[in-house]
Each structure stands twice: as structure tokens, then as C-alpha cells.
């Protein structure tokens, strides 16, 4: 889920602020931990920002089988349209193997830009 939060000026340039909510669900039979994230953030001006970091919002959640973790964050775009995609790097506590969970593309659009 995404929401338009407003426009802001930063370094004499207008930016369009968006928030988003992501829920990660563990459908496996093992406990897993989110260790890092990778985001590719695009806007309609063909700007691309790559964001890599540990955990999500300062946390590395552990998910037991059937559990989920929801978090919200945000980004600034140079235009009123954009999209994000990426993945989470996870570790399986039983096998100690790492794996990626793909986050499909989701779009962001300021409501005034829909006309």
C-alpha cells in the first residue's frame, strides 16, 4: 500500500513524498530472519535510486512459521509518478542457508497527477 504525503523542497528542488507499507509473511516450516534489503526506486524522469541496507527501519525481524512482520517507510521522488521493486535477504535458522524474497514492483502516484 502506498500513500502520497505531499511535496517538499530540498536543495531548491521540489520532491514528492510517498509512504508505503510492506508485510512479510513466513509460509515455511522454519524460522527465518530478514537480514538486509535492496530497493530500486524509479521516477517518471528516469531517475533511479538504489538503496541497500541492513534490516528494515533498524530491525532484523525473526519470523516463526506462520508469523508476519509489517513495517512502513517512505521515499522522495523527483516527479509525481514512480515505482519501487526489490528484495529482502533472509536466513533460514534450520538450514542456515540464505535466500531472497522478491518484492514485485509497486507504483506510487500523486492524486493530482491522475488527470
Question: What are the extents of the domains in the chain?
Answer: 2-107
pLDDT in tens, 21-72: 999 999 999 999 999 999 999 999 988 999 999 999 999 999 999 999 999 9
What pTM value is reported for the model?
A: 0.89
- Tens digit of each residue's pLDDT (9 = 90 or more) over 78-99: 999 999 999 999 999 999 999 9
Burial letters 26-51, b for 16+ CB under 10 A, else e: beeeeebbbebbebebbbeeeeeeee
- Candidate CATH numbers 2.60.40.1470, 3.30.300.30, 1.10.3660.10, 3.30.465.10; the one for domain 2-107: 2.60.40.1470
> What's residue 115's pLDDT?
59
Amino acid at each position: 500500500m502506498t500513500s502520497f504525503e505531499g511535496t517538499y523542497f530540498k536543495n531548491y528542488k521540489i520532491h514528492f513524498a510517498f509512504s508505503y507499507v510492506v508485510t512479510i509473511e513466513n509460509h515455511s516450516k522454519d524460522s527465518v530472519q530478514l537480514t538486509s534489503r535492496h530497493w530500486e526506486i524509479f521516477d517518471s524522469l528516469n531517475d533511479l535510486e538504489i538503496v541497500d541496507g541492513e534490516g528494515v527501519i533498524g530491525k532484523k525481524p525473526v519470523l516463526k512459521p506462520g508469523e508476519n512482520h509489517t513495517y512502513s517507510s517512505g521515499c522522495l521522488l523527483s516527479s509525481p509518478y514512480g515505482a519501487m521493486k526489490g528484495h529482502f535477504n533472509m536466513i533460514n535458522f534450520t538450514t542456515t542457508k540464505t535466500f531472497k524474497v522478491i518484492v514485485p514492483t509497486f507504483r506510487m502516484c500523486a492524486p493530482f497527477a491522475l488527470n
